[in-house]
Every structure is written in C-alpha cells, then in structure tokens.
Chains A and B, each alone.
Chain A
Amino acid sequence: MAALLEVDDLTKTYDGTVRALDSLAVSLEPGVIGLVGANGAGKSTFFRILLGLTRPDSGTVVVDGIDVGLDPIGVRTRLGYMPEHDCLPTDQSAADVVSMLGEIAGLPARAARQRASDVLDLVGLDEARFRPIEGFSTGMRQRAKLAQALVADPKLVLLDEPTAGLDPQGRHEMLDLVRRLGTFGISVIMATHLLDDVQTTCDQVVMIDAGRLVASGRTEELLHTTGVVRVDTAGRGTDLLAALAGREATLLADGTVEVPVTGDDDLDAIVAAVADAGLPLHGLTSQRSSLDDVFLADHAAGLT
C-alpha cells in the first residue's frame, strides 16, 4: 500500500534550545492513526509542520506524495485540521462558519453550503446548525470543529486531542465518529495523550516522547500477547494457588490468578487443576499488553 505520510529525519528546535522534534522518522499507511505522547511531546509541532505553518530545521515530510516543504498549499488542499483549543467564531451559526471555511478551502459557494449541511448532519449537529456557536456545549463545539475539518472532503484529517473536555458519553461518540471516518476512506491522525482512546480507535500508532520516536506500527502488532492467562474462580484464588502448586502463579487483588503459559498443554493443565480442586471456572483469558505497557517499556528502553 502506498504511504500516506513519510517523515524523514524531522527536527525542529525553538529558540535554539527547546527541541520539539528530534530526528523523527516514520512511514504511515492510510487509516486511522494515533499520535501518542505526553503534553509537550511534540505532537502539535508535528501538526504545524504537516500544515506548512512551521518550517522544520531539517528533514522532510511528504503527504500523499507531496513534499510539504516544496508545496505547502498543495498539501493543505488535502488536509483537514481540528485544533485542540476553541477556534470557532462564536457569534455565527455552525452552518455559516462551516460553509465559510469550506469556501476558503476551495469549494464553490453552493457546494460549500451543501457540504456544510452534510457534514454537520454527519457529526450530529443537523438540528443545531442554525444556532449561534456561543450557545453550544463543549461536545457540540468539538463536533462543529470536526465538521469544519471535513467540509472540503480531505484525504487526511489532523485531530488534536478531539476528546479533550468531553464527558464519557461525548468521548465515546467522538471516538465512534473518528472510527467511522476511516470507513469513509478518510485517513485520520489523532493526537492524544489518552492511550485508551488510541487502543480502541486506531489501526496504527505512533508514539513520541520529547520529540523522539518511541514506537510505531499497527496497533494489533504492538498489542502482542504476553504469555500470561488470568483465571477467575469466583474469588477463590487462594484455593487455586494451592491447586497450581509448582507453577509460577500470582494472586491478584480481585481474587483472580495470573499464570504464565507457553502453549495449549499449559492451558489444559490449568483447566484440569481447577476441575480437580472442585473450583468454579468463571473465566480464562489471555492477557495482552496495553499501549501503556508498550509506551512505558519503550520509554524505559530509551532512557537506558
């Protein structure tokens, strides 16, 4: 598959001392991509360079075959951008704002109005689109920001902390929208420090820390199985530990037991031990690493 984004040796320093990006190199395929890092990790700087709003000290960025350094305007016609902060004129209706921004993105006036209506409908603001934005809740403002990013049918949308300030329901709905964009053929780079959001939403992950690449790849490849199963015997973990004597098992606070395994024979042996001890087997689940584990492990490796 052709690369959506190719970044090579990207470095950006502010005031000659603060290194926001440090020799960042990554290649990404089209899809829903999570850009993960703590606050100040360089995510926003990376977005600004993608949009051609900041020039890097060195390195190249190619979006959909176009070099940002050589043709930033050409790149911007392919991008949509949703900043983290409030950024919409509050004294205008969502329909007017999205339509205006669609026109500025290059849409003819009539098409801009039609697409503004379509994308506001898509993000769930169809009934509120003629209301002034100043009366919108945080969730509605986030949706309106997403709508303006989509209005010109971009190939790639850059979302900076799209779930910031949302309640659990709003966060769930926003992530659902982001997932849907992938099914519409729109690639997404979602910058966030919430690893759970990325794990449940993105098919690719890029992790950066202090401007340096920590890890990147397909989400399922990063979330490998750990070789540990968790056994739930309805709280009778102590009995299970006794039944598994000789195995390296650990009793957890919730009464379940984690047991290292190497293959199916080990699983059969655990099930047999539970049955022999007369314990109820409520669950036997293979433990997978989370993105937190990947981030922390690679971060620790980078520090050594």
Chain B
Amino acid sequence: MTATNPTGRVYDRGYRPYDGELGGRSAARLALFKASVRRALGIRRSWRQKLFPWVLLAIATVPAIVNVGVAYITRGRFEDTIEIITYREYVGVSTALLVFVGLTAPDVICPDRRNRVLPLLFSRPLTGSDYVAAKVGAVAAIVFAFGFLPQVVLFVGQMLVSDAALDYLTDNATVLWQVPLAVAVLALYYASLAVAISSFATRRIVAAAALLIVLLVTSVTAAIVTEGGSGSTAWAAVNLLNNPLQIRDLIFEGQISPDADLAGVTGGGALALGVYLVVVGGSLATLLWRYRWVET
C-alpha cells in the first residue's frame, strides 16, 4: 500500500478576472505622473540613476547648511544675524536646478518616443493633454521640491539658531508665501520649456543640449544687445535664462531688481511677465500640438 502525500499538489491558477472598479482619465493621468516622478528620482532603477538626483539635491542644499552653520557659529557676536544668501537669492540661484531640469526632462519624455511606448500609453484612457499634464507636472513637481526643500532647511535652521525663534518667524512671515510662489513659478517655467524642447528629440543628450543652447543663446543675445546700447533696453527681456529670476524679483520686491538688465525700462516688470507667459504658454501649446493626434 502506498501512502499519499496530501501536500504535493500542483494548481493551475489559470486566469483570474479583475472584478474591481477601473479608474478613468484622472487615474491614468495620476499614474503616469507618479511613474514619471519615480523615473526622475531613480526609484526602481539602478543605483547610478538614483545617485544623480539626490546628489543634486544635496548640492542645492549646501548653501542653506553653510548659511545656517555660519549663523550658528557667529550668533551673539554681531547685532544682526549674518546672511550669506537671502531667500530671494536662493530661489533659482543654484545651477544644480538647471542641470537637473536639463537632464530630467529629456529622461521622462525621450524614452517614450525612442522605445515607441506612446501607442501603449494612448491605448489606455489617456489623452494627449493628459500626457502633457502628467509629464510637465512631474518635472515641475520635482523641480519645486528640489528648489523648496533647501529653502525649508534655510528657514528652519535660521529660525532655530536665532535668539528668538518666534520673532524670527514673525519677522520673516512674508517669505512663507513668497518662497513657494517664486519656486513654483520657476519650476513651471523650467519644466514646460524643457519638456517642450525634449518632445522634439528621441535622444536624451540631444534634448539636454538643445535646452542649454536655447537658454545660452538667448542669454548671450540679450547681453550683446544691451551692451551695444547706450542704456537699459527692452531687448534684455529675451534672456530666457534670466526671465524667471526677474519674476522672482517681482514676487519678492514688487519690481525688477535695480541691478537687472531690465531695470530702468518702462514697464519692465510687465514685459518680463509677458515673456514668462509667452514662454510657458508657448511651451504648453507646443506640447499639446505635438501630442494632438491622440486628443479626443
């Protein structure tokens, strides 16, 4: 008589249907947004791809840490707290943010074209505008986080090393809305422009180079035009590299900074705002045009 082993069974699980609810366009948009954020941060990717964004965040945070450290060491020695960098200057001053955008935006856009993933994405409940919103939103969200977190470190650190934390908070209450607004404006500008330029390339390096060329060419052009003139000229507004910093100044000071190229130009603030809106609006319109074939 042979003993049987009741545990030794093999089951063919076959196919199990899904009986839950499926989300629609908003769920698809959110899922693509999350996937793009994960990709940009190197999550579920190799350690080399993880290294880059976090090193850049660390670099962007260094000025805040140095500033807080100096304030801590010198506290009580001077009447005023020593500030190496102000909140206004810290918005977008780090080249790390620009490098991050230049490498991240192509990375979340170009592989979709290069690997021909778009037909898979658009065979799902996703339209062209959803795709644009998810991709621009993802890059903008990360740029915002990477621009805002060092500011939080700076603010909290300064507050803790100050003689009276509550007084520091009330004295600097305005930056609590100025900083997030200015960083958000900067993030939207960089993200929309970088993603729009990247949408024309299939190779990441080409897209990154194209973005830097656009920013540098407009910057150099503006410099040549303003240097050649006798004084401030409205042509300084074509400097796309500088534009978000002029908007930042409008947010912090209510006017173009006196040392800016647009200073002294009548209606310089409105001009800078107009260029900002044209760049962001034009970039988003370009993206919607690029993905119009799946618009429904």
Contact = CB atoms under 8 A, between A and B. Distances in A.
Contacts of A184: 14-15, 17
Contacts of A73: 24-25, 125, 127, 296
B117 A89 contact: yes
Interface of B: 13-18, 20, 22-25, 27-28, 31-32, 34-35, 44-45, 111, 115-117, 119-127, 293-294, 296
Interface in A223-275: none
A88 B117 contact: yes
B20 to A, nearest CB: 6
A161 to B, nearest CB: 14
25 contacts: A52-B296, A72-B296, A73-B125, A81-B119, A85-B116, A86-B115, A86-B116, A87-B117, A87-B120, A88-B115, A91-B111, A92-B45, A100-B31, A103-B34, A106-B22, A106-B24, A106-B28, A106-B124, A107-B23, A111-B20, A121-B13, A122-B15, A148-B120, A180-B15, A181-B15
B125 A106 contact: yes
A197 B122 CA distance: 28
A290 B121 CA distance: 38
A28 interface: no
A79 interface: yes
Nearest to A158: B123
B43 to A, nearest CB: 10
A72 B122 CA distance: 11
Contacts of B44: 92-93, 96
A104 B127 CA distance: 11
Report which residue of B16, B18, B34, B122 has the largest number of chain A beta carbons within 10 angstroms of its beta carbon.
B18
Contact of B31 (A72, A103, A115, A148): A103
Interface in A69-124: 72-73, 76-77, 79-81, 83, 85-93, 96, 100-101, 103-109, 111, 115, 118, 121-122
Contact of B28 (A80, A92, A93, A104): A104
A135 B48 CA distance: 19
A254 B27 CA distance: 62
Given A53-B119, A96-B44, A107 B22 contact: yes
Interface string A169-204: 000000000001100111000000000000000000
Report which residue of B22, B34, B111, B120 has the largest number of chain A beta carbons within 10 angstroms of its beta carbon.
B120
A152 interface: yes
Dominant secondary structure of chain B at its interface with chain A = loop
Contact of A51 (B20, B24, B122, B127): B122
A104 B116 CA distance: 16
A53 B20 contact: no
Contacts of B15: 118, 122, 180-181, 184, 186
Nearest to B126: A104
Contacts of B16: 118
B263 to A, nearest CB: 47
A172 to B, nearest CB: 19
Contacts of B116: 83, 85-87
Nearest to B118: A87
B205 to A, nearest CB: 15
Nearest to A50: B123
A77 B22 contact: yes
B120 A106 contact: no
A237 to B, nearest CB: 47
A87 to B, nearest CB: 5
A82 to B, nearest CB: 9
A199 to B, nearest CB: 24
B120 A53 contact: no
Report which residue of B24, B32, B124, B127 has the largest number of chain A beta carbons within 10 angstroms of its beta carbon.
B124
A89 B31 contact: no
A233 B34 CA distance: 69
B31 A104 contact: yes
A287 B4 CA distance: 50
A104 B45 contact: no
Contacts of B31: 100, 103-104, 109
Contact of A153 (B18, B24, B294): B18
Given A101-B124, A103-B34, A185-B17, 8 more contacts: A51-B123, A77-B125, A89-B117, A91-B111, A100-B31, A108-B23, A115-B18, A152-B22
